[in-house]
C-alpha cells in the first residue's frame, strides 16, 4: 500500500506550487471576510479534493490496471486512496491553521493566549473532519462514476454529511437537549472520530463498487 500512497504523492507534488498560491490568495480574500474558521475549512476541503485529482492522473496514465497486476489487493488500492485523503486533509488543515491563525491574530480576531490556540486547534480538527467526510463520499463516487462526473457530484458529498449534522442537531433540539459551548467544543474535538467512522462506512462502499469494476 505504501507504493500506492507514494505514487499519489509523487504525482501531486507538481500541483503543490499552484495550490500554495491559491491558498495564500484565498487567505488574503477570506480571512478578513469569512474569518479564520471559514478559511480553515475551505483550505482543508480544497486540499482534500486533490484526492479526486489523483484519480484523474490515474485515468490519464492507465494506472489502475497496472496497480491490479501488482501484488496489492483491490481493498488495498481503495484504502490507499483514503490514506492519501487523510494526508491531504492533514496538510490542508495544518496550512490553514498556520496561515489562517497568523491572519486571525493580525486581523485582531484572536488575541495571543491559550484559549485562542485551543479554539484554533478545535477549528483545525473540525475542518479536517469536514474535509475527510466529504472526501470519503467522493471516493466511492469516483469509483462509480469516474473522476470527471464525480466532480459534479461532489455537491452530494457535501450535502450528505451536512444533512446528517443538521439531522443530529435537529434531534438534539427536538429532544430538548441544550447545546452549550462546552458541548460544541466536545463535538468539535470528537469530529475527527466521527469522520473516521463515516470514512470507514464509505470505504466499505468504495470497496464494494471497485470489486465489481472491470479495468
Partner 1 sequence: MDAILEVKDLTKQYDGFTLDHVSFTVPGGCIMGLIGENGAGKSTTIKAILDLIHKDEGKVTFWGKDLAQAPEMKEDIGVVFDGISFYETLTPARVGRILSEAYKNWDDNLYKEYLQRFSLPVDKEIKGLSKGMKAKLSIAAALGHRPKFLILDEATSGLDPVMRDDMLDVFLEFVQDEEHSILMSSHITTDLEKVADYITFIHQGQMMFCKSKDELRYRYGVVRCGAAVFGQMDSADVLAWRKEAYQWDVLVPDKEKARRLYKNAVVDDATIDDILLLYVKGERSK
Q: Which of 18, 62, 175, 182 binds partner 1 (CB under 8 A)?
A: 62
- Binding of residue 51 to partner 1 (CB under 8 A): no
Q: Which of 26, 30, 39, 63 binds partner 1 (CB under 8 A)?
A: 63
d(CA 48, CA 68): 24
- Binding of residue 81 to partner 1 (CB under 8 A): no
Residue with cell 507534488: 13
Smallest distance from partner 1 to CB 15, Å: 9
* 56: CB partners within 8 A, 6+ apart: 147, 148
213, three cell numbers: 469494476
* 72: CB partners within 8 A, 6+ apart: 1, 3, 4, 80
* Total residues found in the chain within this entry: 215
d(CA 171, CA 21): 41
Smallest distance from partner 1 to CB 90, Å: 20
Q: Which of 18, 33, 71, 178 binds partner 1 (CB under 8 A)?
A: 71
x/- track of binding to partner 1 for residues 97-126 (CB under 8 A): ------------------------------
d(CA 55, CA 138): 11
Smallest distance from partner 1 to CB 136, Å: 24
- Binding of residue 70 to partner 1 (CB under 8 A): yes
d(CA 33, CA 30): 5
- Binding of residue 149 to partner 1 (CB under 8 A): no
x/- track of binding to partner 1 for residues 179-208 (CB under 8 A): ------------------------------
Amino acid at each position: 500500500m505504501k507504493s500506492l500512497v507514494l505514487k499519489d504523492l509523487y504525482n501531486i507534488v507538481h500541483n503543490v506550487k499552484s495550490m500554495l498560491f491559491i491558498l495564500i490568495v484565498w487567505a488574503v480574500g477570506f480571512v478578513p471576510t469569512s474569518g479564520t474558521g471559514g478559511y480553515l475549512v475551505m483550505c482543508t476541503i480544497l486540499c482534500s479534493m486533490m484526492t479526486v485529482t489523483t484519480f484523474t492522473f490515474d485515468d490519464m496514465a492507465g494506472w489502475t490496471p497496472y496497480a491490479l497486476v501488482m501484488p496489492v489487493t483491490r481493498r488495498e488500492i481503495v484504502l490507499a486512496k483514503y490514506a492519501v485523503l487523510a494526508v491531504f486533509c492533514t496538510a490542508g488543515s495544518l496550512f490553514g491553521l498556520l496561515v489562517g491563525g497568523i491572519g486571525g491574530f493580525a486581523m485582531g480576531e484572536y488575541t495571543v493566549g491559550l484559549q485562542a490556540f485551543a479554539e484554533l486547534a478545535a477549528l483545525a480538527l473540525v475542518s479536517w473532519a469536514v474535509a475527510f467526510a466529504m472526501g470519503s463520499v467522493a471516493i466511492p463516487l469516483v469509483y462509480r462514476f469516474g473522476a470527471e462526473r464525480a466532480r459534479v457530484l461532489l455537491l452530494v458529498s457535501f450535502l450528505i454529511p451536512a444533512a446528517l449534522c443538521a439531522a443530529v442537531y435537529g434531534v438534539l433540539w427536538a429532544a430538548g437537549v441544550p447545546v452549550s459551548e462546552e458541548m460544541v467544543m466536545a463535538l468539535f474535538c470528537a469530529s475527527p472520530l466521527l469522520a473516521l467512522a463515516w470514512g470507514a462506512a464509505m470505504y466499505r462502499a468504495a470497496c464494494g463498487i471497485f470489486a465489481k469494476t472491470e479495468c
